[in-house]
Structure 1
């Protein structure tokens, strides 16, 4: 490799690193602003200020506020989809649903703002992401319903309605993000410690898995 080619490759790698870092800063700031102000109350300038970048830089990566909003929502949804992979190849509900609860609660711990953005959007009738609900979410749900029904047919759990079980899992695990302030208030004004998070995961798993007959009391 010539010196010129090596220099060009190094320069390109540096540009890629800068782009990734800028996108990370923008998306982290956008999650927080959208979570606190909603889509309507958020502004590109406010997000740029929080990211510590000029507004023009932000618009270079995301030309419109809706582009940025959809990327934030898409990111949290992709993380949720990855969490559900634990269910697909699990031998039974104890392993599959248990791993899913662990993963979803860890997401609530590490990505609370993203969860709040999603919750707020849906509570307002999903004006921006209705297509996500009608396509990707619907397909994802049908796939998990099939898995749960198989476990029921195999006698590994009680014959509960798979959809209502999924709604319960979502509501319970995302509560720790969407109502984090309430939990913190009831925890003497302090965020849950690592030990408390571990205890919460175990409690949620035990309650739900015992309730559906997958775990004997």
Structure 2
């Protein structure tokens, strides 16, 4: 399979895994959607798990590239965390399929493809937590701070918010990125503030 065809296969697999989850997809389905035969798929990935790992590797690489500038400019203080939070929010707001892939995984999908989060999520979160460990107040766990930012971003982009000013029948809003970003910055400021006596 040539490079462009392989890219098309990975892109199709990404879309199908994001829509249906790993467990809901099959190699045959991905082959049919790509317009190739199953033998061509096996040239790229011997199993569905192999193809899924390639998809997750590509998502991780895209996230790394998108956050490269923020990581290079990171400082171990509240401004540094805000910079990373902004880059993280921007990437997942622009890449809903990447968000959906992780969401499926957290709901127990792809349970037989172990270690994806250990490879791609935990190293960066641990590295950031270690860098700010001595900069946060003693009553703030740096691991929870880093994960809280990630959880908030994932939650907002997945479900949106319903503000008190909205009618009860209003659908949750996922479009107020700037308002959410301001809240995220305020949350980071509070978590870096020294505890009150």
Sort the TM-score into its range (normalised by shorter chain). 0.7 to 0.9
Matched ranges for 1:41-120 at <5 A: 41-81=24-64, 83=67, 86-87=70-71, 90-120=74-104
Asked if 1:210 is matched to 2:171, the reply is no
Q: 1:96 to 1:116 in 2, by over 3 A?
A: same
Cα drift, residue 119 of structure 1: 2.3
Which has the larger displacement, 44-53 or 161-170? 44-53
Specify every segment of 5 or more residues in structure 2 that has no aligned partner in the other structure, as ranges.
163-169
Q: 1:176 to 1:22 in 2, by over 3 A?
A: farther
Answer yes or no: is the 8 Å Cα contact 2:93–2:157 preserved in 1: yes
Q: 1:164 to 1:73 in 2, by over 3 A?
A: same
Name the TM-score, length of structure 2 as normaliser: 0.74
**Number of matched residues?**
184
Specify every segment of 5 or more residues in structure 1 that has no aligned partner in the other structure, as ranges.
1-14
What does the per-residue CA deviation read over 1:10-47, in whole Å, with 9 as the maximum and x for residues that have no partner? xxxxx9xx50x223322222122112222221011222
Asked if 1:32 is matched to 2:15, the reply is yes
User: Greater Rg, structure 1 or structure 2?
Assistant: 1
Matched ranges for 1:116-155 at <5 A: 116-124=100-108, 127-134=111-118, 137-152=121-136
Q: In proportion to residue count, which structure has more helix?
A: 1
Q: 1:202 to 1:136 in 2, by over 3 A?
A: closer
Q: 1:50 to 1:107 in 2, by over 3 A?
A: farther
